[in-house]
Chain A
Amino acid sequence: MSELIPPRRAPAARRQGLSWRSKRVRGWAYQLAAVSAIAFLAWLLVSSTLANMRLRGIQSGFDFLLQPAGFDIGEPWFGYESVNPYWKAFAVGVMNTLRVAVIGIVFSTLLGTALGIGRFSRNVLVRGLCYCYVELFRNVPVLLQLLVWYLAFTEYLPAPTEPLRAAGLFFVSKNGLSFPSPHWVPGHGLAVAGFLAGIGAAALYLWFAKRRFEQTGQQLPALLGAVALLVATTALGLWAGGSPVEFELPAMSEIQVEGGGSWTPEFLTVLLGLSFYTSAFIAEVVRAGIASVPAGQHEASASLGLSRLRSMRLVVMPQALRLIIPPLTNQYLNLTKNSSLAVAVGYPDVVSIANTAINQSGRAVECIAIIMAVYLTTSLLTSALMNWLDRRSALKER
């Protein structure tokens, strides 16, 4: 048996000295320099601003949010009155922004999807019109579009003293569209409970229908069934509450239409202007998504005998959705941010209210910070929601 060779000495430990040659050391040095430069700049700006404000006697701090606002808002919520504090005024502004953003997103998605699919129609007129619409609305600035809409509403609608009437219940004038609005009565609470229960029942039905299809191939009417369930449960709740149907009807007073719910020209301008503008971009996104689905899919579904509508619905769109959702998120965020232009047409969204607050209280820095915080939060929430949708529709790879 041969002897084991003596073990070699362990290699000397690597010198951990600080050498500029080491990438790690350089990396740390750069990062330290960058962070300290930014921190220094930030400190400089903040201290300079505070010093300037103190010197000029400008007050700062967020305590003004608890003081009475002192101004009225044209489209209030939560029973807002001028004696309410500033934070409530901001809440009304946020509510108005969300109102326009949510309805705008729904409307523009529907319109944009229809236009995007229309670009693939066999009918040349439909194709051409969709193309012209998209190019026209994409290439004109959104502020200009809002101003044109507002001009159209304020110039060409009839004066408030002689509105257009429809069935004595709907009035259209320069003051906007007035319609009967339901009066909130406790009996309605049961109807709302029925609605919420209906959502749960509809979700259950959809899950059941999907399982049924997977197991037996039998297709139950999914959408129709869900909607029918929703309507049935709401009606049940309404009936259980005593069927109160109280509507506040609009009526003519001596200078204008009073009462009922109303949509002001400002709200309609921002809603319609933004929806038409964003729908053009969404149409492009949908078109690109559908075009990315390989031609083989269209051919395969045609060979199975599916009509164009069914193949679009069952084969093409689910695959296109994967490519559509990220840019669609972008468009939704753009619509929300563009709603800040409402300040130019007099719609009291959060930027307009913050503007008024800056003028009444003088706290420019604080109010702008609030605007930015509101939009950042909305962006983050929308992105999170769309990312969840994206993950659900992504290819489940191994």
Chain B
Amino acid sequence: MLKPSPKHWCATAALAALATLALPAHAGKTLDAIKARGQVVCGVNTGLAGFSQADASGGWSGLDVDICKAIAAATLGDASKVKWVPLNAQQRFTALQSGEIDILSRNTTWTLTRDASLGLTFTGVTYYDGQGFMVPTKSKIKSAKQLKGATVCVQSGTTTEKNLTDYSKANNLALKPVVFEKLEATNAAYFSGRCQAYTTDASGLASIRNKEAKSPDEHLILPELISKEPLGPAVRRGDEEWAAIARWVVFGLIEAEEYGVTQANVDAMAKDSKDPVVGRLLGTTEDTGKLLGLDKDWLARAIKATGNYGEIFEKNVGPKTALALPRGSNQLWSKGGFMYAPPVR
């Protein structure tokens, strides 16, 4: 007859404890978790000048970084309450899916595959970009159509590979990709001369040329843009509340530029402005924050922390910075660009 011994009960208890892990995961309230933690965990690039780059003291700056700072200011009241998680192209989606980060602000292109099959939701476009090529100036190549049969350095894990293939097929160029896992390896291979061209988003090309080339004149960014690359932040699917906050902070910053609210004059505008739209934006006449789960100063805090969209652009990637990217498609709709925010009301 089997005599139960203490060993049996231990085993049964352990099995029962394991069973609790089998409960299905629920979507979790991201906003509650952020408030409890007191920090927004933001996934950014490991180092792309102008978009997200760490300086020597551990502080981060860039366009994607400023978006996260604005969201933190709107949600928690303080733009410094952000934990920065640098991610490479491979890890970024897993980190978001698994809950390691709350929001991915890492020059990520909004595509159907990513929106529909990876368990994410894109919350808007912060930079309209396109993919381009960079070649050494001394190769005398002036147009992408001259790249017949060329070897092109490309980083794995991005939309660039597919776009390169499509362009090569459409224009009969038989381009040969050399695919690297890491950004550093890709850069090293291009700058050592292994490949005749480098391809990634045009903003990325400008950033890499600025940071890593001996002198920016030695490399030429070819004029052709071979794809549409709308870059924007993404959050996990299933939490509409948090997605709405992320979405409307960006729209609010664009609206702020449209109505002339800047970092410098936001306090003055809050006190003196008679424009009802500004009043709604800054929470003086109407409380739009309540509908999002935030308080009424949410957008005012965001603007005060980082400035409106135009200021963010000028500060990080604008014509006066080292990247010197033109406003181009990223201008407000009223001035000929694509930045059109639905009204904050």
Contact = CB atoms under 8 A, between A and B. Distances in A.
Contact of B157 (A57, A70, A151, A355): A355
A265 interface: yes
Given A20-B2, A74-B177, A345 B185 contact: yes
B3 A20 contact: yes
Given A44-B18, A348-B179, A55 B27 contact: yes
Nearest to B147: A255
A355 B156 contact: yes
A356 B161 CA distance: 9
- Which interface residue of B119, B168, B238 has the most chain A CB atoms within 10 A? B119
B123 interface: no
A41 B1 contact: no
A359 B156 contact: yes
A253 B1 contact: no
Contacts of B238: 55-57
A360 B162 contact: yes
B97 to A, nearest CB: 5
B181 A343 contact: yes
Interface stretch (B187-195, B221-229, B286-294): B187-195
B145 interface: no
Contacts of B268: none
B149 A174 contact: no
A360 B119 contact: no
Interface in A48-68: 48, 51-53, 55-59
A258 interface: yes
B268 to A, nearest CB: 45
Interface in B112-133: 113-114, 116-120
A364 B151 CA distance: 28
Contacts of A18: 1-2
A284 interface: no
Interface residues of B, number: 62
B336 interface: no
Contact of A57 (B15, B22, B24, B116): B116
B22 to A, nearest CB: 5
B34 interface: no
Contacts of A82: 165-166, 169
B189 A154 contact: yes
A360 B161 contact: yes
A63 to B, nearest CB: 12
Contacts of A246: none
A126 interface: no
B97 A56 contact: yes
A151 B184 CA distance: 13
A48 B22 contact: yes
Interface stretch (A155-163, A180-188, A373-381): A155-163
A18 B1 CA distance: 5
Interface in B144-167: 146-151, 156-158, 161-162, 164-166
Interface string A241-265: 0000000000001011010000011
A17 interface: yes
Interface stretch (B58-66, B74-82, B87-95): B87-95
B119 A256 contact: no
B36 interface: no
B162 A70 contact: yes
A107 interface: no
B180 interface: yes
B247 interface: no
A67 B24 CA distance: 31
A135 interface: no
A37 interface: yes
B301 interface: no
Contact of B194 (A25, A52, A154): A154
B111 to A, nearest CB: 10
A44 B16 CA distance: 12
B237 interface: yes
Contact of A154 (B141, B161, B168, B192): B192
A87 interface: no
B236 interface: yes
B3 A58 contact: no
B11 interface: yes
Contacts of B175: 72
Interface string A133-146: 00000000000000
Nearest to B139: A255
A44 B192 contact: no
B279 to A, nearest CB: 39
A285 B51 CA distance: 53
Given A48-B22, A266-B178, A362-B113, A256 B151 contact: yes
Given A40-B18, A44-B18, A51-B25, A57 B237 contact: yes
Contacts of A51: 24-25
Given A18-B1, A256-B149, A360-B161, A154 B193 contact: yes
B119 to A, nearest CB: 3
Nearest to A259: B149
A207 to B, nearest CB: 48
B53 interface: no
Contacts of B148: 253, 255
A175 interface: yes
- Which interface residue of A17, A51, A58, A359 has the most chain B CB atoms within 10 A? A359
Contacts of A361: 113, 117
Contacts of A336: none
B179 A74 contact: yes
A207 B1 CA distance: 67
A348 B166 CA distance: 19
A81 B169 CA distance: 9
A246 B114 CA distance: 48
Nearest to B11: A33
Given A20-B5, A344-B181, A355-B181, 17 more contacts: A18-B1, A40-B15, A41-B18, A51-B24, A56-B238, A57-B120, A58-B97, A70-B165, A71-B162, A155-B192, A161-B139, A174-B192, A175-B151, A258-B149, A359-B158, A360-B161, A364-B94
Top-7 shortest CB links A-B: A56-B119, A57-B119, A82-B165, A154-B192, A359-B157, A154-B194, A72-B165
22 contacts: A18-B2, A25-B2, A44-B21, A56-B97, A58-B97, A58-B118, A71-B162, A72-B165, A74-B151, A74-B177, A151-B188, A151-B192, A154-B189, A154-B192, A160-B193, A160-B196, A255-B147, A256-B150, A265-B194, A344-B181, A344-B182, A362-B114
Interface of B: 1-3, 5, 11, 15, 18-19, 21-22, 24-27, 89-90, 93-94, 97, 113-114, 116-120, 139, 141, 146-151, 156-158, 161-162, 164-166, 168-169, 175-182, 185, 188-189, 192-194, 196, 236-238
